[in-house]
Amino acid sequence: MLDPTQNFTIVNVSGTYSDVDTSITLVSGDGSKLPDPLAEGAFNLVWWDSGNYTIPSDDPNAEIIRVTAISTDTITISRGQENTTATTKNTTDGEYVMTLNLTSKTLQDIDTYLPYQGTTQGQVLFWDGSKWTYTGDIYTDNTGNVGIGTTGPGAKLDVNGAILGSANSSSELYALALRRSGSSLALPDIWDKNGDGLVLGNDSSSTDLVIDTAGNVGIGTTGPDVKLKLNYAGDDPFLTSSRAGALSIEGGYTTMDMGVNDNSPYEGWIQMRHSDVASYPTSVHDLALQPVGGNVGIGTTGPNTKLHNAGAYTQEPLSADPSDPDAGHSVQWVSDGTGSGDAGDVMMKINVGGNVKIATIIDYSTL
């Protein structure tokens, strides 16, 4: 609370004045002790004879004046305010001063418009249109953190609740920009996609990451028409210390890389590789389809067997016999004449109880 016995100002009047004078000169430098009426509004002073009276109320000619303008040490006033009478201030032995002091009304106004006590430490004030009051939702601590919806912010801005951001004008297309201190953009901005969603990138036309209003996500494209659409230049799988493809799924030491490449031998491909391609660039792994059950169909939506191909399939000749299959299994191939069978023969290797035999299914020479 402000102390009314300590918060006051006295300015000394230079010269004597009649009861109608409205331009008053103060002692040099005293004009700076008063508020600026142009900035703060007009205010009242008590003009009284401090040489002959101890307090203003003892002076029968004490007068309340209203200061409407100040120019250095000259004040412009209205006389005889608040039911007081304008009088001549030219008593030869008088020492006239003007006093600006706190009143009960001043203190009441301060209490009304600026609360001095909140309910929780760190509460922030706001103007509700008629007075200052505590928000109850915004808090700050002594380390520079601000909390919205939380009394203990743990970062420069800690929000407990939803955040709604929008650009101020058409020239400000982004709602949120993330920057590292002392540098330009360190992370992409979040942009409004012309009312059709969000863009994460360096401008509103970026294709880094797009989320449209239908919930589709695009990477490398501004117009995703499925739930996840990836667009990139395309490449072929290769066994080097670099990784190829547009999508890589990693689990343990294995990854499944997928990609496309128009006008290449592969066009669309899946390759299983070691997750650490820098250390194991040539390490590859097997790919299993339906390993715990179910059929696989090629060109059909209703496969009837483990592999149901609705069309032809192609076999290329092998230059050597394949490895022996596990017991109870068989393997079939086309010979190029180097291993078992003659060139063009369709061969089969069968393992029954550990006993492996090779049979010619089709003798090409008899066709």
Instruction: Indicate if 95 and 126 belong to the same structural domain.
Output: no
Q: Evaluate if residue 36 carries a pLDDT over 70.
A: yes
For range 303-308, the mean pLDDT: 94
Instruction: Indicate if 183 and 264 belong to the same structural domain.
Output: no
pLDDT digits (tens, 9 = 90+) for 115-155: 656 567 777 777 777 777 776 788 888 888 999 988 888 89
**How far apart (Å, rounded) are the C-alpha atoms in residues 66 and 321?**
114
Per-residue confidence (pLDDT) for residue 130, from 0 to 100 = 75
Instruction: Indicate if 260 and 213 belong to the same structural domain.
Output: no
Per-residue confidence (pLDDT) for residue 259, from 0 to 100 = 93
Q: Are 359 and 350 in contact (CB under 8 A)?
A: yes
For range 17-46, the mean pLDDT: 92
User: Of 110-114, 142-146, 283-287, where does mean pLDDT reach its minimum?
Assistant: 110-114
pTM exceeding 0.75: no
**How far apart (Å, rounded) are the C-alpha atoms in residues 260 and 267?**
5
Q: Is residue 164 part of a domain?
A: no
**How far apart (Å, rounded) are the C-alpha atoms in residues 217 and 221?**
9
Per-residue confidence (pLDDT) for residue 193, from 0 to 100 = 63
Q: Is residue 166 part of a domain?
A: no
Q: Evaluate if residue 209 carries a pLDDT over 80.
A: yes
For range 324-345, the mean pLDDT: 95
Instruction: Indicate if 260 and 246 belong to the same structural domain.
Output: yes
Segments forming the whole domain that contains residue 210: 174-230
Q: Is residue 249 part of a domain?
A: yes
Q: Which of 246, 216, 211 is nearest to 232 (CA)?
A: 246
Average pLDDT in the chain: 85
Q: Per-residue b/e over 113-145, b at no fewer than 16 CB within 10 Å?
A: eeeeeeeeebbeeeeeeeeeebeeebbeeeeeb
Instruction: Indicate if 90 and 21 belong to the same structural domain.
Output: yes
The tally of domains found in the chain comes to: 5
Instruction: Indicate if 30 and 103 belong to the same structural domain.
Output: yes
pLDDT digits (tens, 9 = 90+) for 179-189: 555 555 555 66
Q: Evaluate if residue 7 carries a pLDDT over 70.
A: no
Percentage with pLDDT > 90 across the chain:
54
Per-residue confidence (pLDDT) for residue 292, from 0 to 100 = 95
Instruction: Indicate if 236 and 224 belong to the same structural domain.
Output: no
Instruction: Indicate if 293 and 350 belong to the same structural domain.
Output: no
Q: Is residue 167 part of a domain?
A: no
User: Of 86-90, 186-190, 345-349, where does mean pLDDT reach its minimum?
Assistant: 186-190
What's the CA angle centered on 241, arms 239 and 243, to 5 degrees?
75
User: Of 130-144, 265-279, 343-357, where does mean pLDDT reach its minimum?
Assistant: 130-144
For range 188-211, the mean pLDDT: 72
For range 293-311, the mean pLDDT: 94
Confidence band for 102, pLDDT divided at 50, 70 and 90: low
Instruction: Indicate if 151 and 77 belong to the same structural domain.
Output: no
Instruction: Indicate if 203 and 237 belong to the same structural domain.
Output: no
Per-residue confidence (pLDDT) for residue 188, from 0 to 100 = 64
Residue given tokens 């808090």 in the structure block:
139
**How far apart (Å, rounded) are the C-alpha atoms in residues 123 and 136?**
7
For range 77-91, the mean pLDDT: 89
Q: Is residue 286 part of a domain?
A: yes
Q: Is residue 168 part of a domain?
A: no
Higher-scoring residue by pLDDT: 91, 313: 313
Please report which helix (H) or strand (E) contains residue 140, including its range: strand 132-140
**How far apart (Å, rounded) are the C-alpha atoms in residues 69 and 276?**
80
Q: Which of 148-157, 199-208, 259-268, 275-284 has the highest mean pLDDT?
A: 275-284
Q: Is residue 115 part of a domain?
A: no
Q: Evaluate if residue 203 carries a pLDDT over 90.
A: no
Per-residue confidence (pLDDT) for residue 194, from 0 to 100 = 64
